[in-house]
Amino acid sequence: MRTIMMLIAFFLLSTAVAEEYEYWPGARYDASIPSVEDVLGYASGERITWHRDTVRYFEALAAAAPDRVRVYRYGETWEGRELIYVVVSSASNIARLDEIKANMRALRDPASTSRAEADRIIANQPAVTWLSYGVHGNEISSTDAAMMTAYHLLAAGNDPRVDEILENTVVVIDPMQNPDGRDRFIHRYETAKGLLPDSDRISAEQNEPWPSGRTNHYLFDMNRDWFMMTQPETQGRVRAVQEFYPVAFVDAHEMGSNSTYYFAPEAIPYNPHLAADQRASLELFGRTNARWFDEFGIDYFTREVYDAFYPGYGASWPSYFGSIAMTYEQSSSRGLVVRKYDGVEMPYRDTVRGHFVTSLGTAETVANNRRKFLEDFYDYQVSAVEEGRSGNVRSYIIPAQRDQAGANKLAGLLVQQGVEVGRATSSFSACGRSYDAGSYVINLAQPAKRLVRTLLDPDVPLDADFLAEQERRRAKKLPDQIYDVTAWSLPLMMNVETDACGRTVSGDFAAAGPDLVLPGSLAGPTDAAAFLVPWGEAPAIRLLANAHRQGLAVKSTDKAFTHDGTRYPSGTLIFDSADNPADLRDLLAALAEDTGATVTAVSSTWVTDGPNFGSGNVVRMNAPRVAIAWDEPTSQYSAGNTRFVVERQFDYPVTAIRTRQLGSADLRRYQVLILPESYDGYAGTLGDGGAENLRDWVERGGVLITVGNATRFAADPSVDLVSIRREDAYVDAAVTESVPEAADEEDPKATVAGTIIGDDDEYATLTTPAETGPDSVGGVLLKARVDGDHWLGAGVSESLNVLARGSDIFTPARLDAGVNVARFESADDVLASGYLWDDNRQQLAYKPFAVAEPKGNGYVVAFTQDPNVRAYLDGLNVIFMNAIFRGSAHARPVR
Ligand SMILES: [Zn+2]
């Protein structure tokens, strides 16, 4: 009550300087704290602030108020920009920051912190609010809002909320989650600018060139990366956030210019692994934000569009350690000013202000509910442990397995996210099965139980009401409201066998560590005739890539063989001592250590079954020069993420070539060309000449790899680089026949033939748009079966899980044209996880995922879905890298 009275007085008495734009009307700022203008030379919102200037401003704040501000570095981007977070609180809280962090770790761990102890901690513990900005670099306003927020908290002595926020809370500000993307945006915006900032949407400065600033250097959407942590920015954040365990976490974004402002409560569907009180708390923040927006006359909406079903968002991942995580979305000015469709000009500073007001509103909500949020946080851990102890799934077990490197990576990923994982030091039995030493065990009676369930369960169900509504909308040909993929199960995506068990498992377990790759080794006699590396795991691919870069001679078998009683799979690498430098053993031992691969030295090349190393079934591997189509019209995600997988997960360089140059470029230097997915298709950019150029190059021995919808281009009858064809939606003949004949398109008359519509079905058919493709799918995991006899399937698991999105379905190749090396399972078995329209399920059955077709001396390898989405489909790594390394080994260019 006292606060409200003070706030009223604050507004009535305040007499602000009239000319200045007021971020918070009536605020009077302490002159000893530097403003944005003092440090950077322009008022907040007058320019879009660069990364280096943002860092400079926060350092100036820390220099002016070292007792209340600390700046920490938490990582570095691919382009070398530093990632920082800034801690703002009262001097007494800052002085005991380590203790505050230790207290949050104690509240996170109810096994060692009793309720009485928790109560004692909570009595004297500030709650942490985490405000993160600009994960999408072209969503510009939030970073400038971050600076204003910190400034206000330190300098607005007459805002009575400030003292309460600083006393009751610690505010952590991550001002720029994506520096590379933001600076990319600013550079190109500034480059296009003229005499005045242009508000016209058709102006160059309002239209970013490819790739947009949304993504980081490797063109990732980092707001999907939180649980797979493929990017250094995400890795740093996951570490930093777990140092503080904030009770509230905001991820500030921008949306289309014609929108208003969005904040929590979020839209349905809710993830069922969220706790009920987390949902209820969202409303506390929403009401505070709404109160200030009413005060200032700012429009907003809640509960629509933005859901948190997928756990890889900034606005969802922190929920799984007990935080209240939210996305805030400000309509974007896309520059210094934009003209909305209604004619209103929206300047940048208005958008900065939107995020500034909600940032303060968020910190205020935490300050006013400090005790409740801390108690909820502790209760969240207690109930998670209890659910894990009593639920239908009480443990997950990752057995020692064929792809042990995949199992190790999965365990390490979980550990990095705060999951307790045990590694068996001896064999044990559980749920009717025995497990070898080296198996991993995750007992769910632990605080991270809900995270484990949402990441490892084969399926996370969508709410039945939500699904019914989507089917209703689909029947009416309205777009569905599924915002992202509906399947992300890590064991399926990584193709790592994982068992659920209804019991808590006991045995001899050592705590597993956070490493994603365990060192490999080289074993066997020193008088080696050859060294063998079994194929089928990521480390062997990394070893091959590095061996190629070092110029080592390597061969590979297309068929499995037995040597000295050991069975080696097809694809096994063979390094002959005679063909390689004298220090081959040392070179391979170092590569094994770094890559995690297992190398076996053999003193004789004699095999007891399968092809000898000089057989026609053994091919010489050549270090291919690999190119990828870059720039318009490629999808920046597909181009960037594919390049990342090859370059950073497998250490092999890729040359990016702008697509428009592919039409006429001499490609003979390259043995492999990857066409990533495309928004608009390649036909317009490449033209007939481009298709001809690619065909010539393939026929001379090139390997063309089409990714996802790039296969449309290769499969277009006018291009015909691959024999498969894209299908229309299947239509039941009985339904079509009952519908009266539509008008003849050639009919020159102004009117068309009369119809009688007899029932709802006929009406639906007649009103269906001429668009003939299958309905689009948000993202599901489908099972595919692999033909291991083909080199593209060498060492690949017999069964793959493919992330299927969009509407593409292709006919299978006829065997005289090529081989369907991976094809989807039958309609009954095809769906591994997620929500799939029944018509699509029926039509996708038996259709191809990966097709290899010889063409002249080269090959076309067509993937009908993108195997490299978000670089998180590890289970598809081997087949994709086979296309590169084995495709070029089997092609026959003139060398
Ligand atoms: Zn965004």
Ligand 1 center to 847 CA (angstroms): 35
Task: For residue 631, report the distance from its CA to the centre of ligand 1, in Å.
Answer: 22
> Counting every residue, how long is the chain?
895
> 722: CA distance to ligand 1 center in Å?
37
Query: What pLDDT, in 10s, does the model give residues 844-879?
Result: 999 999 999 999 999 999 999 999 999 999 999 999
Ligand 1 centroid distance, CA of 495 (Å): 30
**Cα 139 to middle of ligand 1, angstroms:** 6
**229's torsion region: left (phi>0), alpha (psi -120 to 50) or beta?**
left
Whether residue 197 contacts residue 336, with contact meaning beta carbons closer than 8 Å, is answered with yes
pLDDT of residue 70 exceeding 80, the answer is yes
State the distance from the centre of ligand 1 to the C-alpha of 134, rounded, in angstroms: 7
For residue 33, the tally of other CB atoms under 10 A from its CB is 21
pTM: 0.95
Helix, strand, or coil here: 564?
coil
**Cα-to-centroid distance, 303 and ligand 1 (Å):** 17
Ligand 1 center–CA 64 separation, angstroms? 32
182 CA distance to ligand 1 centroid (A)? Answer: 12
The Å distance, Cα 220 to ligand 1 centre, comes to: 12
Q: What spacing in Å lies between the alpha carbon of 135 and ligand 1's midpoint?
A: 7
Cα-to-centroid distance, 137 and ligand 1 (Å): 8
> Rounded to the nearest whole angstrom, what is the distance from the C-alpha of residue 313 to the centroid of ligand 1?
10
pLDDT beyond 50 at 9: no
Ligand 1 center to 262 CA (angstroms): 12
Specify the pLDDT at position 18: 40
Cα 96 to ligand 1 centre (Å) = 34
Q: Ligand 1 mean position to 357 CA, how many Å?
A: 18
CA of 331 to the centre of ligand 1 (A): 10
Q: Stretch 108-130: mean pLDDT, rounded?
A: 98
- Measured in Å, residue 174 CA sits from the centre of ligand 1 at 15
- pLDDT at residue 542 is higher than 80: yes
* Cα 254 to middle of ligand 1, angstroms: 5
Residue 736 pLDDT grade (very low, low, confident, very high; cuts 50, 70, 90)? low
pLDDT at 2 over 90: no
What's the confidence (pLDDT) of residue 176? 98
pLDDT: is 337 or 733 the higher one? 337
Strands 858-863 and 703-707, bridge-based pairing: parallel
Task: Determine the average pLDDT of the residues in 216-222.
Answer: 98
Question: How confident is the model over 787-799, as pLDDT tens digits?
Answer: 999 999 999 999 9
pLDDT for residue 764: 79
Distance 217 CA to ligand 1 centre (A): 16
| Structure confidence at residue 478 (pLDDT) | 86
CA 283 to centroid of ligand 1, rounded, Å: 22
3-state SS class at 815? coil
Mean pLDDT throughout 754-770? Answer: 84
CA 525, chain centre distance (Å): 44
* One-letter identity of residue 287: R
Q: How many angstroms separate the alpha carbon of residue 490 from the centre of ligand 1?
A: 24
Q: What is the pLDDT of residue 13?
A: 45
Cα-to-centroid distance, 257 and ligand 1 (Å): 13
What's the 329 CA to ligand 1 centre distance in angstroms? 7
**Residue 442 Ramachandran class (φ > 0 left, ψ -120 to 50 alpha, else beta):** beta
Element holding 643 (H helix, E strand): helix 636-644
Joined together, the tokens standing for residue 32 give 């000893």
Question: Has residue 50 got a pLDDT over 60?
Answer: yes
Instruction: Give the distance (Å) from ligand 1 centre to CA of residue 823.
Output: 35
CA–centroid distance, 234 to ligand 1, in Å, is 15
Distance (angstroms) between ligand 1 centre and the Cα of 571 equals 42
Distance (Å) from CA 747 to ligand 1 centroid: 49
Residue type, 465: D
C-alpha atoms less than 13 angstroms from C-alpha of 816 in its C-beta half-sphere: 0
From ligand 1's centre to the CA of 294, what distance in Å?
24
Q: What's the mean pLDDT when you consider all of the chain?
A: 95
Question: What's the rounded mean pLDDT across residues 128-143?
Answer: 98
Percent with pLDDT over 70 in the chain: 96
Expressed in angstroms and rounded, the spacing between residue 37 Cα and the centre of ligand 1 is 27
Which whole number is the average pLDDT over 196-225?
Answer: 97
Å from CA of 773 to ligand 1 middle? 29
- Residue 514 alpha carbon to ligand 1 centre in Å: 29
Cα(224) to centroid(ligand 1), Å: 10
User: For residue 1, what pLDDT band results from cuts at 50, 70 and 90?
Assistant: very low
How many A from CA of 788 to the centre of ligand 1? 42
What the block records as the tokens of 208 is 């970013």
The model's confidence at residue 17, banded by pLDDT at 50, 70 and 90, is very low
Alpha-carbon 873 to chain mean position:
10
Question: How much distance in Å is there from the Cα of 529 to the middle of ligand 1?
Answer: 56
Q: What is the pLDDT of residues 470-491, one digit of tens each?
A: 999 988 888 899 989 999 999 9
SS (H, E, C) 759-797: CHHHHHHHHCCCCCCCCCEEEEEEEEEECCCCHHHCCCC
pLDDT-above-90 percentage for the chain: 90
Q: How far is the CA of 330 from the centre of ligand 1 (A)?
A: 9
SS3 assignment, position 541: helix
Ligand 1 center to 443 CA (angstroms): 35
The pLDDT of residue 19: 55
Ligand 1 centroid–CA 327 distance in Å is 9
Q: How far lies 483's CA from each of 308, 309, 470, 492, 774, in Å?
A: 9, 9, 12, 21, 19
pLDDT level of residue 641 (50, 70, 90 thresholds): very high
Ligand 1 geometric centre to CA of 12 (Å): 37
CA of 215 to the centre of ligand 1 (A): 10
Distance 358 CA to ligand 1 centre (A): 16
pLDDT in tens, 221-238: 999 999 999 999 999 999
Tell me, what's the pLDDT at 62?
A: 98
Q: What is the full DSSP assignment across 103-171?
A: HHHHHH-TTTS-HHHHHHHHHT-PEEEEEEE-SSTT--HHHHHHHHHHHHHHHBTT-HHHHHHHHHEEE
Task: Please write the tens of the pLDDT for every residue from 358-394.
Answer: 999 999 999 999 999 999 999 999 999 999 999 999 9
Q: How far is the CA of 744 from the centre of ligand 1 (A)?
A: 46
Confidence check: pLDDT of 613 > 50? yes
Question: What does each C-alpha distance from 399 to 408, 428, 431, 514, 706 come to in angstroms?
Answer: 10, 11, 13, 18, 35
Q: How far is the CA of 311 from the centre of ligand 1 (A)?
A: 15
Q: How far is the CA of 585 from the centre of ligand 1 (A)?
A: 50
Digit-coded pLDDT (tens) for 494-522: 999 999 999 999 999 999 999 999 999 99
Tokens read off for 317 = 């991942």
How far does the centroid of ligand 1 lie from the alpha carbon of residue 306, in Å? 11
